[in-house]
Amino acid sequence: MSQPEIRNMEEFAAISGISRPTVSKYFHDPSSVRKSTRMRIEAALEKYDYRPNIYAMNQNRKLTKNIGIVVPYLADPFFGEIVRMIEGRCIEAGFTPSLFSSHGDQAHENDILDSLRSMKPAGVLLAPLGRQSDKSAIETFCKHVPTVLFDSNIEGMGEAFVGSDNHSFVSQTVEYLSRTGQSPCFFEMRTPANPNANKRRIAYLSMMERLGLEPHVIKIDGTGWGFEEIGRQGGLKVLSEKSLPTNTVLCSNDRLAIGFLAACYESGVRVGRAPGCELRVASHDDHPFSRFTCPSLTTAAHDYNAVSDHSVETLFRLIESGGRFENRAESLFPARLIMRESA
Amino acid sequence: MSQPEIRNMEEFAAISGISRPTVSKYFHDPSSVRKSTRMRIEAALEKYDYRPNIYAMNQNRKLTKNIGIVVPYLADPFFGEIVRMIEGRCIEAGFTPSLFSSHGDQAHENDILDSLRSMKPAGVLLAPLGRQSDKSAIETFCKHVPTVLFDSNIEGMGEAFVGSDNHSFVSQTVEYLSRTGQSPCFFEMRTPANPNANKRRIAYLSMMERLGLEPHVIKIDGTGWGFEEIGRQGGLKVLSEKSLPTNTVLCSNDRLAIGFLAACYESGVRVGRAPGCELRVASHDDHPFSRFTCPSLTTAAHDYNAVSDHSVETLFRLIESGGRFENRAESLFPARLIMRESA
DNA sequence: ATCAAAATTTTACCCGCGTAAATTTTACTA
DNA sequence: TAGTAAAATTTACGCGGGTAAAATTTTGAT
């Protein structure tokens, strides 16, 4: 709040009695200037509320302080949560996060990568669409921008991957379910959008074999990112056909399970581990809504904090290393079994 | 893909055999240059994949082509949906949307407004936190940036407001519920985060009075944006106390209702309009998950398309008008009653 | 008080583009 | 083919800072 409008750093430097390059240094890193100087600048800052032009700043900087965050589908609260944590870490570290959602669409994902390149970000945290991704577009992007993939892995792309250990997820649910009742059949989409789904199926099959149990994979139709409705339709079909081989269903992910549970309710099938229930249902992810399903969903939980923390830390290391790692590291975090009422 | 790396527009212009200012014009608006010129530029563009430096572009432009989108809580799929629609419209119109979430936190909202100002956006679509917003911060912001508020209104702030007609929402649910059964009591948070909640309560009271029915407002405790858990806790309490005055509950919003339905299920209370049910539950918003609750949720639906379309169109008109409107217009869209199984 | 190290200032140049005005070229009409 | 409007080029300047090197000042320790 003041009389004279400060137009640029030149004027601000003049008024605060300090040279422009020093002021420039201050905005780069306040701790890089002498304490007395810092206080003079900050005093002037309160009187004249000046802020440097970010476009002029980034124009010449080799590495900007921007970090791109790309998720495949923001209407999924799972990603909403992840994004919140990641954003917070970036801001703490003095970076400016920019958020993008591919909204389940390949063309959109490519457009995002395009505009992201022109932003010259210090680094990018990318959760790709997966099967729908344009691999070559992502590969090209990663050559130009320091990128850490998270949530959904694409072999060889990005300098690192941080995600969840699908085997840990499935082994815990399968072990628990088969120990406490009939062995689970595996409920998934026929053409899953996400590579995690494939890994979970494989983990299910290997786990069942190890336990000497007969595996049953139920593949349901449907495309797109409306997993709940796909799960519901698939559930209605399976239940009406009475084709379930066992009384225990393990869904590939919570969103499918949410739809499946809706189908059970509509069909009058009682779900849970309580006496009188016909079916047990469990799943993977610990989706933010999974504790509010009816019954509440037994599931294997992501370590949200670990995944987001480690993603960000990996990206920071990558940035400090100049954008390249020796080897592409893959960090996988185990699941934690959350026992609720559904199984 | 080519040998020589193009570093700037000067070089690109030289290679494509056209003057730099003309190339600059092309990137401003490809249709503003002669057809033959355009083809030459585009041919060169394919060979040398050059892209202008966005920071240098925006530095001197009086109005950038950026549009800021701010929502209060991105982990709510409702906003995920809205954002997807709004982003699409902005891109169609040649703007570059930037997405921000306040994550339910006032300081974060203020920070967003700060960095948004330094982006010098052509306009901003702002869904404020509501009660938690720093009114003076928002007011200051709106003075400097053409802003259209949406979803959640704050009197007098921004050049326009686009949202839903809460009276339409509540009148339809109340009318329907009281016509088909016992009159509804109203279930809400004691200190709602959002001004819509207050309007809905007022609408409930006036509607009940008009129908000559006795109103009952149930206020539950809890703060923050974890509405589902708040609704669940409140539901458990109300159900255990058996303090419900009627067998029909109208929740202020779907997220509360999702929690309330979970509480009903846990408590063994059968919900629905089918025979044998003890309780009816309805709500407002048509949250993306409301069709997957058990039972599926009868609710008054936002016109997502209308709200997002009209928000964007209003902002475009505002931008074309130079950032100011004569009068602050408030556009409210009516609800559509979605009858499902819960009431 | 002396002196080296750290911090700051000066100086000087660059970045990549926007934009305006005057001039020249091109395209279309009569 | 002349005349004219549209498009393109030239010219010239500005934007708001980054950044490097050398010169100067300040700081802190001896």
Q: Is B10 on the interface with A (CB under 8 A)?
A: no
pLDDT digits (tens, 9 = 90+) for A180-238: 999 999 999 999 988 999 999 999 999 999 999 999 999 999 998 899 999 999 999 99
> Tokens 């900007």, residue?
A64
Kindly determine whether residue A288 and residue B262, on different chains, have CB atoms separated by under 8 Å. Answer: no
A38 contacts A91 by C-beta, under 8 angstroms = no
The rounded distance, in Å, linking the Cα atoms of B337 and B168 is 10
Taking all residues of chain A, what is their mean pLDDT, rounded to a whole number? 92
Kindly determine whether residue A80 and residue B76, on different chains, have CB atoms separated by under 8 Å. Answer: yes
**Confidence bin at A2 (pLDDT 50/70/90):** very low
The rounded distance, in Å, linking the Cα atoms of B318 and B321 is 5
Q: Going residue by residue through chain B (343 aa), what tens digit of pLDDT does each one get? A: 445 678 888 888 888 888 888 888 888 888 777 788 888 888 888 888 888 888 998 887 767 889 999 999 998 999 999 999 999 999 988 899 999 999 999 999 999 999 998 888 999 999 999 999 999 999 999 998 999 999 999 999 999 999 999 999 999 999 999 999 999 999 999 999 889 999 999 999 999 999 999 999 999 999 988 999 999 999 999 999 988 999 999 999 999 999 999 999 999 999 998 888 999 999 999 999 999 999 999 999 999 999 999 999 999 999 988 888 999 999 999 999 999 999 9
> Tokens 């016992």, residue?
B182
Return the structure tokens found at A112: 């995002």
SS3 B93: coil
**Confidence bin at A1 (pLDDT 50/70/90):** very low
pLDDT digits (tens, 9 = 90+) for B124-161: 999 999 999 999 999 999 998 999 999 999 999 999 99
Kindly determine whether residue B296 and residue A119, on different chains, have CB atoms separated by under 8 Å. Answer: no
pLDDT digits (tens, 9 = 90+) for A43-94: 888 888 788 888 998 887 766 889 999 999 998 999 999 999 999 999 988 8
Question: In 10 A of CB A121, how many CB atoms?
Answer: 25
Kindly determine whether residue B51 and residue A117, on different chains, have CB atoms separated by under 8 Å. Answer: yes
Kindly determine whether residue A289 and residue B288, on different chains, have CB atoms separated by under 8 Å. Answer: no
Closest-approach residue (CA) in chain A for B104: A84
Domain boundaries, chain A: 9-52, 66-164+305-334, 166-301
Given a cut of 90, whether residue A243 has pLDDT beyond it is: no
Give residue B205's pLDDT. 96
The CATH number corresponding to B66-164+305-332 among 3.40.50.970, 3.40.50.2300, 3.40.50.720, 3.80.10.10 equals 3.40.50.2300
Residue B29 (CA) to nucleotide C29 (C1'), in angstroms, measures 27
Strand bridging mode B123-126 / B280-285:
unpaired
The rounded distance, in Å, linking the Cα atoms of B52 and B60 is 14
Return the structure tokens found at A259: 């739809």
Residue B300: beta bridge partners?
B284, B337
Give residue B1's pLDDT. 46
Residue B123: beta bridge partners?
B67
In the stretch 54-73 of chain A, residues with CB closer than 8 A to chain B read 54-59, 73
B150 contacts B162 by C-beta, under 8 angstroms = yes
Which helix (H) or strand (E) segment holds residue A100: the answer is: strand A96-101
Q: Which fold has domain A66-164+305-334?
A: Rossmann fold (3.40.50)
Annotate A214-247 with DSSP letters as a single string: ---EEEE---SS-HHHHHHHHHHHHHHHT--SSS
Return the structure tokens found at B95: 């703007």
Kindly determine whether residue B56 and residue A59, on different chains, have CB atoms separated by under 8 Å. Answer: yes
Give residue B17's pLDDT. 85
Residues with CB under 7 A from strand C: A 17-22, 25, 32-34, 36-38, 59-60; B 7-10, 20-21, 24, 27-28, 34, 36, 52-53, 56-57, 59-62
pLDDT digits (tens, 9 = 90+) for B173-222: 999 999 999 999 999 999 998 899 999 999 999 999 999 999 999 999 99
Give Cα separations from B223 to A54, A254, B229 (angstroms): 36, 27, 10
Which residue is nearest nucleotide C15, judged by alpha carbon to C1' distance? A60
Chain A residues with CB-CB distance to B84 below 8 A: 74-75, 101, 103
Residues with CB under 7 A from strand D: A 7-10, 20-21, 24, 27-28, 34, 36, 52-53, 56-57, 59-62; B 17-22, 25, 32-34, 36-38, 59-60
Whether B166-301 and B66-164+305-332 are alike in CATH topology: the answer is yes
pLDDT digits (tens, 9 = 90+) for A111-130: 999 999 888 899 999 999 99
Q: Which nucleotide is nearest to B53 (CA to C1')?
A: C16
The residue among B196, B294, B187 whose CA lies nearest residue B234 is B187
Kindly determine whether residue B98 and residue A96, on different chains, have CB atoms separated by under 8 Å. Answer: no
User: Domain B166-301 is of which CATH architecture?
Assistant: 3-Layer(aba) Sandwich (3.40)
Shortest Cα distance, chain B CAs vs residue A210, angstroms: 35
- C-alpha dihedral sign at B131, B133, B139, B142: negative
pLDDT digits (tens, 9 = 90+) for A304-320: 999 999 999 999 999 98
Return the structure tokens found at B191: 């200190």
Q: Which nucleotide is nearest to A35 (CA to C1')?
A: C7
Give residue A60's pLDDT. 78
The rounded distance, in Å, linking the Cα atoms of B108 and A99 is 15
The residue among A243, A155, A232 whose CA lies nearest residue A199 is A155
